[in-house]
Amino acid sequence: MQKLQTSTLLKKKFTFNILDSIEVQMEVSENPYSLPVEDLFTMAARINKKRSFLFVSKVLGKHLPIDANKGLLAAALLAARYLESVKGVKCPETPHILAAFIRNEPLSGSTFIPSSINPIVIGFAETATALGHAFFDSFQSVNFFHTTREILVSREPEITFEEEHSHATSHRCYIPKAMIQNKREIILVDDEMTTGKTALNIIQSIQSHFPRKIYTVVSILDWRSDEDKMKFTQLEKELGITIRTVSLLAGRVEVKQLREVHKKNRGNEWENHLTTSKEFIQLGPFFSSSNYQTSRNMACFIQETGRFGITSNDKQINQLKISEAALFLRQQRIGGKTLCLGTGEFMYIPMKLAAEMGPDVSYQSTTRSPIHIENKQGYGVRFGFSFPAPEDPEITHFVYNIPPFEYDEVFVFFEREVESRHLQPIITELEKLQIKSIKLIFFSAKRGECNE
């Protein structure tokens, strides 16, 4: 059982015991907004030989359901912190953002970073695609794209790099060369840095093709050791660049493996005793299809995600599209407690939709990360199931922390249309959770109708 042995803001040292198998000791050295540690994350054991533990975020909406506004405001807090700590500009919106974050309230007028600051923002797939996109929302003049694990048909990425500790290691960036062929600051957005190796990898890749002088790495959590920080300094000297870092919480961690974690059954243990309705909804008319596909699924990705690059000029138009789609989906609700479930890298638009779909709506996403499941109080992943990803059945996806009878309905968001037979495994698992209504939402054009 996991236990946080101290939880007061006055104390800076914490110990997590993960399933009596992994002990994580941490010391917090920076907490600029005095955020309670237990409000940002809990912990779980990963099924991964490269890294045995996982910070289970309470603000990302990946492995735990959240109020969508919490995720959007976490990104706004990071943007405020960037403005204050990197640019040295007092951010008058910070108290309002912080108050809304604590109360889970929406924040209007989130674009507060002036046009004189015009970087390129890059979000890391898959966990930080929404965080990076929401961070981009705070800027008046900026470009954004997120990395992807997808391999496109008939297109080569402009940038590639590796994330060694991840379950899926290879990242690709499919963006117009003109978007990055300049000398502007690049801001890399990730949910947490444990070693910072992923950030160094992409910086080296970018610098070899599109050199510039300044990079900033933004993350909610920064646990780099002194040795890891020295690698940043060494790369700065080697490449003649400056790398700045921004976080909401920083310190150091020490991990002790006490024993092997016993692997439990990963499937749902319940049988459905309700009659579950299923409905397919096409949101293609609200969004713009691209002409990019994968060999596994010839339906197209959409333009609005940022996978292929977006600008500040796209922001207002995309927000109108999202608000119109959210109004339409709100009218499809049956009432009661609702889950909006994004899939894989497709996180930001589902999160924004969830924020505008009315009361009693939670948001989270599927993930590629295999995690040990243990239904014990205080542990980070108490429930879970796996299924072949409908958009690529060779990839296994997971959904965590949905107990039975928790929701009356679920909206599952797929960026691309998929064949019905590939949907059955996730439908079967969701039915076991005693959910009355399952709505499967598609955003892309119909198969074979991609724009040329």
User: Residue 57 is encoded by which pair of tokens?
Assistant: 């975020």
Residue owning tokens 């909804």: 281
Please name the CATH architecture into which domain 277-442 falls.
3-Layer(aba) Sandwich (3.40)
Is 441 within 8 Å of 283 (Cβ atoms)?
yes
- Cα 233 to Cα 238: distance, rounded to the nearest angstrom: 9
448, pLDDT greater than 80 = no
Q: Which pLDDT does position 447 carry in this prediction?
A: 54
Q: Report the SS3 class of residue 238.
A: helix
CB 145 within 8 A of CB 118: no
Tell me the pLDDT tens digit for each residue of 42-87: 999 999 878 889 999 999 999 999 999 999 999 999 999 999 999 9
Residue extents of the structural domains in the chain: 68-255, 277-442
pLDDT at residue 452, rounded to an integer: 45
DSSP assignment letter at 265: P
Q: Do domains 68-255 and 277-442 have the same CATH topology?
A: yes
Would you list the DSSP string of 76-107? Answer: HHHHHHHHHHTS----TTHHHHHHHHHHT---
pTM of the model: 0.93
DSSP codes of every residue in 273-303: -S--EEEEEE-GGGS-B-S--BSS--SPPBS
Q: Residue 169 gets which letter from DSSP?
A: -
How sure is the predictor about 429, in pLDDT bands with cuts at 50, 70 and 90?
Answer: very high
What's 68-255's CATH class? alpha beta
Reading the block at residue 146, the tokens are 């997120």
Task: Lowest mean pLDDT of 167-181, 222-236, 403-417, 437-451, name the range.
Answer: 437-451
Q: Could you tell me whether strands 392-400 and 384-389 are parallel, antiparallel, or unpaired per DSSP bridges?
A: antiparallel
